[in-house]
């Protein structure tokens, strides 16, 4: 058995071009966004990290995996020297997280394309100092809390305004004993205190921090044994749906589907809860029930929250795609002002906004290739555009004024019967004006035969 020379096949591979590297860089950034989203981060956090990375990439002028510790020293030591500590910490953390992603996911590919080993430029020597965590807070002791409320309670007898002072005392007492947040305590009402439940009663927190009015509910596992037909909200909703369906002329099958949907959604309903479109859509869609008719009934009962994204937002994102960042910002602000109105401007119809933006979009795309912002557009550009627009209007008006062959053709006589063709021959209408339902017919002057 003989030995042969082993050669690395990567030596025969052609180096990657700039287009291939640019496409790979875009794919890497998209993968980073998807990985952070799968980790459960909020959209605002991901958008902030991507913004920090884009600013560093713009300053560096080449892909971020080419960044070295010397580049980080220059960037954080000179460019961000006078910026706020929080900005420097957030940008350094975004870079550290991005390079950790590169080392875990794309280190081999980057080495194969560029021959470079990925290494984080942020190390222990140039890492910005400071912490983003809040300072340590030591809660008061039980004796201190007791002394506070004892003095507060003694002050109720001599305060100038008893009602607001007593309100604040009760709210603070609830927060200290039950653990409510400030916003949750401010939205409590007397009806939220359920004295009949338990030994000391229970509180119904309608406006929670994460629930935004009511806790998230899952209706996908609903079964018939969970139906509570004695629920007053369900009974009233079924009555309203029955009357509304009869008024609208719904078929018996449609009314039955709406009744089933209300039983699923309102069997465990309590006062103060709201139902969102995103919560009820999966369950009703899986069972073949109408979501729109159910939402119509819930809207009449003021129990519905439509959390769908408006179609105008999707349309606006499509129309603004391809515009430069500076021009896109101005056009978006102008479009939203037309659509929503302003302090001194009434809102326009959506069709008007659609027509306006469709008309100026080709011009904005052309200017995006030459300018970075609307402020850079000169007076000559506007005059040239207005001149071309006037010329096109003149041509259109000339074509409109030229009579066509069909317009010179004589119109055929109308074949529609006259308005009185159904009347009996020789009939003449009565010429009189009634003054009131009780007016006598003797005062009417009859001129007909």
Q: What is the mean pLDDT of residues 290-319?
A: 84
Do 113 and 16 contact (CB within 8 A), yes or no? yes
Q: What is the DSSP string of 242-282?
A: HHHHHHHT--HHHHHHHHHHHHHHHTT--TT--EEHHHHHH
Q: Which residue has the higher pLDDT, 339 or 404?
A: 339
Query: Which of these, 296, 301, 303, 220, lies nearest to 258 by C-alpha position?
Result: 296
pLDDT given for residue 283 in this prediction:
78
- Beta-carbon contacts of 274 under 8 Å, excluding residues fewer than 6 positions away, are 213, 214, 303, 304, 305
The pLDDT-based confidence of 412 (bands split at 50, 70, 90) is: low
Q: Which residue has the higher pLDDT, 436 or 250?
A: 250
- Tell me how far apart the alpha carbons of residues 229 and 158 are, in angstroms, rounded to a whole number: 52
What's the distance, Cα to Cα, between the start and end of the chain in Å?
131
pLDDT given for residue 189 in this prediction:
80
Q: What is the mean pLDDT of residues 77-101?
A: 89
Least confident window among 71-75, 139-143, 205-209, 261-265: 205-209
pLDDT given for residue 100 in this prediction:
92
- Tell me how far apart the alpha carbons of residues 191 and 177 are, in angstroms, rounded to a whole number: 20
Q: Which residue has the higher pLDDT, 209 or 38?
A: 38
Does 99 have pLDDT greater than 90?
Answer: yes
Q: What is the mean pLDDT of residues 188-214?
A: 67
Query: Which of these, 201, 205, 25, lies nearest to 113 by C-alpha position?
Result: 25
Q: Best-predicted range by mean pLDDT among 234-243, 308-317, 368-377?
A: 234-243
Q: What is the DSSP string of 180-205?
A: --HHHHHT--GGGEETTSSSS-EE--
The pLDDT-based confidence of 56 (bands split at 50, 70, 90) is: very high
- Tell me how far apart the alpha carbons of residues 193 and 202 are, in angstroms, rounded to a whole number: 6
pLDDT given for residue 288 in this prediction:
80
Q: What is the mean pLDDT of residues 177-181?
A: 80
Prediction pTM value? 0.35
- Tell me how far apart the alpha carbons of residues 208 and 185 are, in angstroms, rounded to a whole number: 9
Do 241 and 265 contact (CB within 8 A), yes or no? no
- Tell me how far apart the alpha carbons of residues 420 and 428 are, in angstroms, rounded to a whole number: 10
Q: Please, what is the Cα angle at 322 between 321 and 323, to 5 degrees? A: 95
Domain ranges of the chain: 9-114, 143-203, 224-305, 311-397
Q: What is the mean pLDDT of residues 285-306?
A: 84
Do 299 and 345 contact (CB within 8 A), yes or no? no
Q: Which residue has the higher pLDDT, 55 or 138?
A: 55
């Amino acid at each position: 058995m003989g030995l042969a020379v082993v050669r690395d096949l990567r030596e025969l591979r052609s180096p990657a071009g700039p287009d291939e590297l640019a496409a790979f860089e875009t794919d890497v950034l998209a993968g980073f966004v998807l990985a952070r989203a799968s980790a459960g981060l909020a959209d605002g956090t991901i958008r902030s990290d991507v913004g920090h990375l884009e600013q560093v990439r713009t300053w560096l002028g080449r892909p971020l995996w080419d960044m070295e510790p010397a580049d980080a020293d220059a960037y954080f030591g000179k460019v961000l020297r006078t910026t706020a500590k929080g900005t420097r910490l957030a940008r350094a953390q975004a870079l550290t997280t991005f390079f950790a992603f590169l080392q875990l996911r794309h280190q081999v590919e980057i080495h194969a394309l560029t021959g470079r080993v990925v290494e984080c430029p942020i190390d222990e020597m140039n890492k910005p100092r400071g912490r983003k965590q809040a300072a340590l807070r030591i809660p008061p002791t039980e004796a201190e809390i007791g002394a506070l409320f004892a003095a507060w309670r003694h002050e109720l007898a001599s305060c100038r305004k008893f009602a607001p002072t007593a309100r604040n005392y009760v709210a603070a007492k609830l927060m200290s004993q039950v653990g409510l947040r400030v916003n949750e305590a401010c939205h409590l009402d007397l009806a939220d205190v359920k004295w009949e439940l338990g030994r000391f009663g229970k509180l119904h927190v309608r406006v929670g921090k994460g629930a935004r009015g009511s806790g998230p509910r899952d209706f996908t596992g609903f079964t018939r044994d969970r139906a509570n037909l004695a629920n007053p909200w369900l009974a009233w909703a079924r009555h309203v749906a029955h009357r509304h369906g009869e008024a609208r002329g719904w078929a018996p099958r449609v009314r039955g589907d709406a009744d089933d949907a209300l039983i699923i959604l309102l069997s465990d309903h309590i006062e103060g809860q709201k139902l969102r479109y995103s919560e009820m859509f999966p369950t009703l869609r899986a069972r073949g029930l109408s979501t729109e008719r159910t939402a119509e009934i819930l809207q009449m009962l003021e129990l519905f929250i439509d959390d769908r994204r408006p179609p105008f937002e999707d349309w606006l994102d499509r129309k603004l795609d391809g515009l430069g960042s500076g021009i896109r910002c101005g056009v978006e602000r102008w479009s939203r002002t037309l659509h929503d109105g302003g302090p001194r401007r009434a809102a326009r119809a959506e069709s008007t906004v659609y027509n306006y933006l469709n008309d100026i979009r080709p011009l904005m795309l052309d200017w995006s290739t030459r300018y970075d912002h609307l402020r850079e557009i000169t007076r000559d550009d506007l005059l040239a555009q207005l001149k071309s627009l006037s010329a096109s209007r003149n041509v259109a008006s000339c074509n409109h004024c030229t009579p066509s062959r069909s317009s010179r053709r004589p119109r055929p006589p109308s074949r529609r019967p006259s308005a009185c063709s159904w009347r009996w021959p020789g009939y003449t209408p009565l010429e009189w004006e009634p003054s009131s339902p009780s007016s006598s017919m003797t005062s009417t002057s009859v001129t007909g035969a």
